[in-house]
Amino acid sequence: MSPKPTNIAGDSHTSVPRTPVMVPIRSLGANHRERIAAHLESLDARDRYLRFGYAASDEQIRRYTDGLNFERDEIFGIYNRKLALIAMAHLAYPAKKTCDSCAEFGVSVLKSARGRGFGARLFERAAMHARNDGITQMFIHALSENTAMLKIAKSAGAIVQRDGAEAEAHLILPAATLDSQITEIVHEQMALADYRMKAQVQQFRSILSRLQAMRCAAGTPSQ
Ligand SMILES: CC(C)(COP(=O)(O)OP(=O)(O)OC[C@H]1O[C@@H](n2cnc3c(N)ncnc32)[C@H](O)[C@@H]1OP(=O)(O)O)[C@@H](O)C(=O)NCCC(=O)NCCS
């Protein structure tokens, strides 16, 4: 019998190799709202249930994305080379001043991009940002059956409390240091540079295909 496929980290549930530690995760502004909606709408009913705690309809997802507050909260994203948003996380600050130093974390990774460490990297990125922003506790609400999410939280040192079908994890964050602040700036700059490069390649590709189409229309054979 052949052995079960394992990835680099030795997990047996997937054979996809894990991504190197540095993943370009960028902060998203309101101009990414449409792509955030498209990302969430491409999740199936089960993933929507795991993400929101209910099987959100397209309409409910629209309401959620329309209501995103990019000034107050922080949204992070991972784009692939075709500039599709393959993973995103929402670090939500309380709307009411009930807990000034708390934030809630929510995340989703497209099925095709799972098992590569993107969920864990987004968690680390959000925790680093929260810490640098003076947040002392990060909360995660998940279903008790959500093994992957609870594993991410536990591996980062969060305390998980299960209450029937639901679980709450909370992570105590250390105070910011000069090092954590510089690290965040460096990560953000690298992610922005990566995004700009992908955007330029996309632009170049579309110019090439337009030229090709014009050549074909003019009956000129391609080189
Ligand atoms: C939860 C989710 C974000 C994980 O994303 P991911 O990129 O696949 O996660 P990672 O690759 O970083 O894996 C994190 C850990 O979970 C483990 N894991 C991933 N999928 C798993 C699965 N199906 N079963 C068991 N463990 C799993 C990984 O092995 C890894 O553990 P390790 O660090 O010990 O190796 C993703 O499954 C998802 O989008 N689910 C739907 C939405 C959701 O549940 N959101 C969370 C609630 S807000």
DSSP per residue over 51-91, as a string?
HHSS---HHHHHHHHHT--TTTSEEEEEE-TT--EEEEEEE
What pLDDT was estimated at residue 120?
Answer: 97
Tokens 């502004």 label which residue? 29
Lowest mean pLDDT, pick from 71-75, 178-182, 195-199, 213-217: 213-217
What pLDDT was estimated at residue 56?
Answer: 96
Inform me whether the pLDDT recorded for 87 exceeds 60: yes
pLDDT band at 181 (very low <50, low <70, confident <90, very high): very high
What pLDDT was estimated at residue 184?
Answer: 97
Atom of ligand 1 nearest to the CA of 109: 39
C-alpha 149 to ligand 1 mean position (Å): 5
Mean pLDDT of the 48-73 span:
96
Lowest mean pLDDT, pick from 46-60, 121-135, 206-220: 206-220
Inform me whether the pLDDT recorded for 3 exceeds 70: no
Q: Whose CA is nearest to atom 45 of ligand 1?
A: 51
pLDDT band at 13 (very low <50, low <70, confident <90, very high): very low
Inform me whether the pLDDT recorded for 217 exceeds 90: no
CA–CA separation, 136 and 140 (whole Å): 14
Express as a percent the part of the chain with pLDDT over 90: 79
> Domains of the chain by range and CATH?
26-214 (3.40.630.30)
Ligand 1 close to Cβ of residue 26 (< 6 A): no
Residue 217, phi then psi, degrees to nearest 5: -60, -35
| pTM attached to this predicted model | 0.88
Ligand 1 close to Cβ of residue 93 (< 6 A): no
Mean pLDDT of the 85-100 span:
87
Ligand 1 close to Cβ of residue 119 (< 6 A): yes
C-alpha 100 to ligand 1 mean position (Å): 29
CA–CA separation, 166 and 145 (whole Å): 8
Atom of ligand 1 nearest to the CA of 142: 47
Question: Could you give the count of Cα atoms lying within 13 Å of 26 in the half-sphere of its Cβ?
Answer: 19
What pLDDT was estimated at residue 219?
Answer: 81
Nearest to 141 by CA among 171, 111, 117: 171
Do residues 191 and 26 lie in contact, with contact meaning Cβ atoms separated by under 8 Å? Answer: yes
Query: Mean of the per-residue pLDDT values for the chain?
Result: 89
CA distances from 68 to 7, 54, 64, 94, 139 (A): 36, 18, 6, 13, 18
Inform me whether the pLDDT recorded for 6 exceeds 80: no
pLDDT band at 20 (very low <50, low <70, confident <90, very high): low
* pLDDT single digits (tens) 136-161: 999 999 999 999 999 999 999 999 99
Nearest to 129 by CA among 74, 90, 83, 81: 74
Maximum alpha-carbon separation in the chain:
69
